[in-house]
Chain A
Amino acid sequence: QVQLVESGGGVVQPGRSLRLSCTASGFTFRTYAMHWVRQAPGKGLEWVALISYDGSNTYYADSVKGRFTISRDNSKNTLYLQMNSLRPDDTAVYYCARGIYGSGSYKHLDPWGQGTLVTVSS
């Protein structure tokens, strides 16, 4: 079945870096766009970044632009999120999700991984 598994979360000091991974299985990874979405403790969903199926196009939320980099390795069925200059307000559960594209736009996210917790604290 289609499955996404995130890893790489943990506790990190402000200003440091962390790289998250999302390993996909059960579908042809190289033909789908992928998203990262985060959820701070007790808060709602915040879209973070999107990468096209071939990695040629990337998009970011203003809150992470210039600090985070989304990338993918289609040979390894893996999505990444490189997070630099981390701040306490980056503390959240980070989810990866498959992006469904059609009719000229990105339409919905399905499925989602189980999430990985990133805590930025000194």
Chain B
Amino acid sequence: QSVLTQPPSVSAAPGQKVTISCSGNTSNIGNNYVSWYQQLPGTAPKLLIYDNNRRPSGIPDRFSGSKSGTSATLGITGLQTGDEAEYYCGTCDSSLSAYWVFGGGTKLSVL
């Protein structure tokens, strides 16, 4: 059971838009920056979004992030088959059980 809640899966057709939600509380998302990670099949995770809504160099502007209160959202427009991957949100947590937490992950299928 992850501290951050994500939908297990989302799907959309090529060229369409999809959003992935990440829900937490005031111990984590509510008072810290959120980041998003993309894990393509068989590979290590890669930073996709940091500081809630900023993209590292090399990440296309089809990917966007936002945060409101204790929730965050990853948006992907112009879906491509190469976007099929697992997506994780992550943030710092001020509770005693963990200093950093991830969401359970969302599998994106581009149909």
Contact = CB atoms under 8 A, between A and B. Distances in A.
Interface of A: 35, 37, 44-47, 50, 59, 61-62, 95, 97, 100, 103, 105-115
A44 B102 contact: yes
B97 A107 contact: no
Given A103-B33, A109-B35, A45 B44 contact: no
Size bracket, chain B contacts = 20 to 34
Interface of B: 2, 32-33, 35, 37, 39, 44-47, 50-51, 56, 86, 88, 90, 92, 97-105
Contacts of B99: 47, 50, 59, 106
A47 B102 contact: yes
B98 A62 contact: yes
Contact of B104 (A37, A44, A106, A110): A44
Nearest to B47: A110
Contact of B98 (A47, A100, A115): A47
